[in-house]
Amino acid sequence: MPELPEVETIRRSLQDVVGSTINAAEFSPVAPIKHTSVDTLRTQLTNARIETIGRRGKYLLFSLSRDATLIVHLGMSGRLRRAGPETVAPRHTHMALTLSNDTILRYVDPRRFGVISLAASGQAHPLLHNIGPEFDATDFTVDAFLQQCRRHPKLSLKMALLHQGVVAGLGNIYVCEVLYEARLAPTRTIGDTSDDALARVFAAIRAVLSRAITHGGTSLRDYEDSWGNKGNMKSQLQVYGREGQSTLDGTAEVVRIVQHGRSTWYAPAVQQ
């Protein structure tokens, strides 16, 4: 479900639980736990304090006292919801953290494409190992971006951006939006794209993600932050989901194609 702007919005919506202690941690029998065990999670989380809540790409990182980090990825359908004590857990609740400030933080994920994991502080973790730079990091420069892109000459622009290695955090919505902003066809390969054109992609990545965060992310169906608030970015999307209509700014007609089994929306008349 969520891409970087949605995950970042969720992260910000959780700031008030920083400093609270996890009194109890419960997991469903089918919780999508990877690279650790439910017993380890329960032991490490119980009575730990949440020191900070960070983000890397689409991963949320709950830094805990006692040198552990809870890693949460929301996959396609994952949500983090807070509720008061004594409330009934919704269907598909796979993790429930009872916090010292009378909040229950629930991880709800019908499709279970998400991930719950644990890392020792400062240690490399397999989930985070191959993630590319953050879009707003100082080391994410045009030159670094070009260098990463040139390693994949055969990939289409769409697949290159969807892959988390070139830059972290883009998903289907924002790849479509970035390529419209850069006026490049998603089907074009990296190898057939000039440095100047890739520089437009670089600029578009930063512009589109910044704008999306400002708008609190895109709520298409079920995305909400931890308070249940929806994002406003849907009303700003130029091409995503608009086949048969014009781009939001009225520039050109939008079509939908399928690339590697995933939908892509773009405006062929102005994206070449």
Partner DNA sequence: GCGATCCTGGCC
Partner DNA sequence: GGCCAGGATCGC
Per CB under 7 A, the list member of 221, 235, 244, 250 interacting with DNA is 221
Catalytic residue (one of 2, 5, 32, 186): 2
Q: Which residue's CB is nearer to DNA, number 104 or number 171?
A: 171
Q: Which residue's CB is nearer to DNA, number 29 or number 85?
A: 29
Q: Which helix (H) or strand (E) holds 151?
A: none
**8 Å CB contact between 5 and 233:** yes
Nearest to 171 by CA among 112, 129, 220, 118: 220
Q: Is there binding between residue 192 and DNA (CB under 7 A)?
A: no
**Least distance to DNA, CB of residue 46, Å:** 27
DSSP state of 102: S
Q: Which residue's CB is nearer to DNA, number 220 or number 270?
A: 220
The beta-carbon contacts of 187-190 under 8 Å, at least 24 apart in sequence, are 187/156, 187/157, 187/158, 187/257, 187/259, 187/264, 188/156, 188/157, 188/272, 189/153, 189/154, 189/155, 189/156, 189/157, 190/149, 190/150, 190/152, 190/153, 190/154, 190/155, 190/156, 190/157, 190/160
CB neighbours (10 Å) of residue 255? 15
For 82, 156, 168, 272, the CA distances from 95, given in Å and listed in that order, are: 12, 37, 26, 45
5 is catalytic: no
224 is catalytic: no
Measured CA angle at 65 (ends 61, 71), to 5 deg: 20
Catalytic residue (one of 11, 58, 81, 242): 58
Stretch in the footprint of DNA (CB under 7 A) among 10-18, 62-70, 164-172, 192-200: 164-172
Q: Is there binding between residue 132 and DNA (CB under 7 A)?
A: no
Q: Which residue's CB is nearer to DNA, number 57 or number 186?
A: 57
Q: Which residue's CB is nearer to DNA, number 103 or number 226?
A: 226
Q: Is there binding between residue 197 and DNA (CB under 7 A)?
A: no
262 is catalytic: yes
Q: Is there binding between residue 36 and DNA (CB under 7 A)?
A: no
Per CB under 7 A, the list member of 146, 155, 207, 252 interacting with DNA is 155
Q: Is there binding between residue 107 and DNA (CB under 7 A)?
A: no
Alpha carbon 268 to chain centroid, angstroms: 27
Q: Is there binding between residue 207 and DNA (CB under 7 A)?
A: no
Residues belonging to the active site: 2-3, 58, 262
Give residues in contact with DNA (CB under 7 A): 1-3, 6, 57-58, 73, 75-77, 91-92, 110-113, 127, 130, 152-156, 159, 162, 164, 171-173, 217-223, 260-263
